[in-house]
Amino acid sequence: MVAFKLAFRNLFGAGLRTWLNVSVLSFAFVVIIFYNGYLDGWNKQAYIDTKDWEIGNGQLWHPTYDPYDHYSLQDAHAPVSGNIQKLISSDQLTPVLITQATIFPQGRMQNILLKGISPAQQIIKIPSKSLDTAGSIIPAVIGKRMAFAAKLKKGDNVLLRWRDKNGTFDAKEIQVVDVFSSNVSTIDNGNIWIPISQLQQMTGFENEATLFVVDKTYTAGNIDLWIYKDTHFLLKEIDDIIESKKAGSVLIYGLLLIIALLAIFDTQVLSIFRRQKEIGTYIALGMTRWKVIWIFTIEGSAHSILAILLGSLYGIPILGYLQIKGIPLPKTMDSYGITIGDRIFPSFSIGLILSTILLVVISATIVSYFPTRRISKLNPTDALKGKIS
Amino acid sequence: MKISLVLVITLLSFNLLGQSAIKVLEKVDKNMSSKNRILESTMTINGKRNSRIVVSKSWAEGTKKSFTEYLSPASEKGTKMLKLEGQLWIYSPSTDRTIQISGNMLRQSVMGSDLSYEDMMDDRKLQDLYMEKLIDREIIEGRNTWVIQLTAKVENVAYHSQKMWVDTARYVPLKQELYAKSGQLLKKMEFKDIKNAQGRWFPYTTTYKDMLKDGKGTEFKITSILFDQSIPEYIFTKAALKQ
């Protein structure tokens, strides 16, 4: 307790020097929390949006389906078996049929993925209900990115060309009946959604599907030839992006932290040099060398406690504001092909805050300890005379 | 009685027209095909903003074997293409690699033109794929033509139906339209600059136009053609691609 009292008394006594160190360290502390909270918020948002809009609680894939190889789509489909049909009837999963096609908006050619979905499905948020229309023209829903790229809006007609199961061309007009707004670009960019029954009829893949999106009640795993892909697998891409971003961020706040720690280290070296007589007096009065090291180490690491307090003083209102209002992102981020919203709402968990506090305190303690090791070799008589070796 | 007579005459004439269509196609086939040919050509690919001209030299034997070497522009120079019994290989000098174009890749455009590899590859006879019917007579640029309607009789064809305008005197197609199942016109070909080459009428200029997109299409111009030449067998081997 004496060590703490002494430490804080000395720190406050040092005046501006202490506050400069504390300010830099507090800034590093706030930046670490902000950046990690920003990435965690993005991650959380991406998880929720991707589950809501694309993957549900997992997917059942045809064995040859590869979302990164559009050429695989030609063979990646199979008839819906009786077992699967029962699950569809009980709303545990919904089929999606995917094929390649081309649209010709304003005389331009644009390759797209034509996806068939049941208008009655409620597992993912695609507004498939809008596809439940009566009429000769094929209804289609598209995302805002697709609408922007193809210069299409609700009510527009566009010519669609596709091939049936034998490779024979067919072409018809489709009508955009709805434009949805989603943060998940993979269901939007280059995608057109039409009723699955119509797509099955158009392609000749009667009662066939490429994949099924399952809901929370689905527990069966692999079924018939369909391979179950859980959310952990389907969200791996997002995890990888966030991991790489986090690795990059370590460099930014690591540098900041190093600068702050270097200042503490320098202060400690200076303190020991300037306070030799004080150190000699402590030892002469009967304090063990390790007790003196402890006092000086505590003094150094007390910077981190003050930094945390100062950081909290201005960090809580700033970060709290950002958490509520979100951080706006430039519009170009939309076209990067990653799941990201217009705004990112940072997520500052207790775990993040505690781990950052520990990081700052432990690293400050370590850098405070190293210069004090010289005390253990100190001769008290020389120290009292001001002769440090 | 009169109605029956008209019906019989109509049915007979339809039958005769049907037979004529086959004969016309056979004569077109006879005129257009040869044992082999060597041709030099330019392909003008008209884009929205600019045009590209690709010069090539081809050796072909029947409809199953062909070898093409691209001579210009510099970016395509040295690229070679070998079509052999339904398979297609492309050699790229920049990577010094030969790749086989198969499956869905055949549906890609040839060097950004309005032609797909698949269009180039389909060497089956029209009579084997389509039911033909002579439906009309028209005059195109002062030439009398028969209009033949072709409707697919097999499933694995890219175009469900076609319309072909054949010069009645020279048995050369002057125009061809390719349709989707729905009846939507997809592609149009126009054959011009018909010349007599070694005793046969042959179109020296062909324009391919994808009717669903804007642009002037792709123009294929033959600068020289030689029929029934002696072509060494090694030309139609994969080894020739790297030479």
* Structural tokens at position B12: 């007979």
Supply the DSSP string of A15-67, one letter for each residue.
THHHHHHHHHHHHHHHHHHHHHHHHHHHHHHHHHHHIIIIITT-EEE-TT--T
| pLDDT at position B215 over 50 | yes
Record: contact A161-B105, CB cut-off 8 A = no
| pLDDT at position B10 over 50 | no
Domain boundaries, position B237: 2-242
Whose structure tokens read 């506090």? A357
Q: Give the residue from chain B lying closest to A203, CA to CA.
A: B181
pLDDT at A131: 93
pLDDT at A337: 61
| pLDDT at position B100 over 50 | yes
| Nearest C-alpha neighbor of A218 from the set A60, A106, A8, A12 | A60
* Structural tokens at position A67: 């979302």
Amino acid identity of residue A304, one-letter, is S
What are residue B48's DSSP bridge partners? none
Contact B147, B164 (CB under 8 A): yes
The three-class DSSP label of residue A158 is strand
Inform me whether the C-beta atom of residue A137 falls under 8 Å from chain B C-beta atoms: no
Looking at residue B61, which CATH number applies to its domain? Answer: 2.50.20.10
Give the Cα separation of A265 and A12 in Å (integer): 17
| pLDDT at position A378 over 50 | yes
| pLDDT at position A213 over 70 | yes
pLDDT at A389: 53
pLDDT at A338: 65
Contacts for A338 with CB less than 8 Å, ≥ 6 apart: A46, A185, A238, A241
The minimal CB distance from A104 to the residues B158, B181, B213 is found for B213
Whose structure tokens read 């729905």? B182
pLDDT at A178: 95
| Mean pLDDT, rounded, for A151-155 | 94
Per-window interface: A 58-77 vs B, CB < 8 A: 70-71, 74
Give the Cα separation of B51 and B156 in Å (integer): 33
**Contacts with A161 from chain B: Cβ below 8 Å:** 180, 184, 186, 212
Record: contact A164-B181, CB cut-off 8 A = yes
Helix, strand, coil percent content, chain A, rounded in steps of 5: 55, 20, 25
| Nearest C-alpha neighbor of A6 from the set A292, A365, A370 | A292
| Nearest C-alpha neighbor of B57 from the set B33, B34, B77, B74 | B77
Mean pLDDT, chain B, whole residue set: 85
Give the Cα separation of A356 and A39 in Å (integer): 15
What are residue B170's DSSP bridge partners? none
Percent of chain A residues topping a pLDDT of 90: 43
Give the Cα separation of A171 and A187 in Å (integer): 23
| Mean pLDDT, rounded, for B125-133 | 87
Range among A154-163, A236-245, B83-92, B213-222 rated most confident: A154-163
Q: Tens digits of per-residue pLDDT, B151-179?
A: 999 988 889 999 999 999 999 999 999 99
Domains: count for chain B: 1
Mean pLDDT, chain A, whole residue set: 87
Amino acid identity of residue B2, one-letter, is K
Element containing residue A203 per DSSP (H, E): helix A196-203
pLDDT at A330: 73
| pLDDT at position A332 over 70 | no
pLDDT at B140: 93
More confident of the two residues A134 and A385:
A134
Q: Name the band, by pLDDT with cuts 50, 70 and 90, for residue A301.
A: confident
Record: contact B156-A170, CB cut-off 8 A = no
| pLDDT at position B1 over 80 | no
Q: Name the band, by pLDDT with cuts 50, 70 and 90, for residue A339.
A: low
Q: Tens digits of per-residue pLDDT, B12-63?
A: 444 445 447 888 888 888 888 788 889 899 999 987 778 899 999 999 888 7
Amino acid identity of residue A68, one-letter, is Y
Supply the DSSP string of B75-86, one letter for each residue.
TTTT-EEEEETT
Inform me whether the C-beta atom of residue A166 falls under 8 Å from chain B C-beta atoms: yes
State phi, psi for A375 to the nearest 5 degrees: -60, -35
Q: Name the band, by pLDDT with cuts 50, 70 and 90, for residue B5.
A: very low
pLDDT at B172: 93
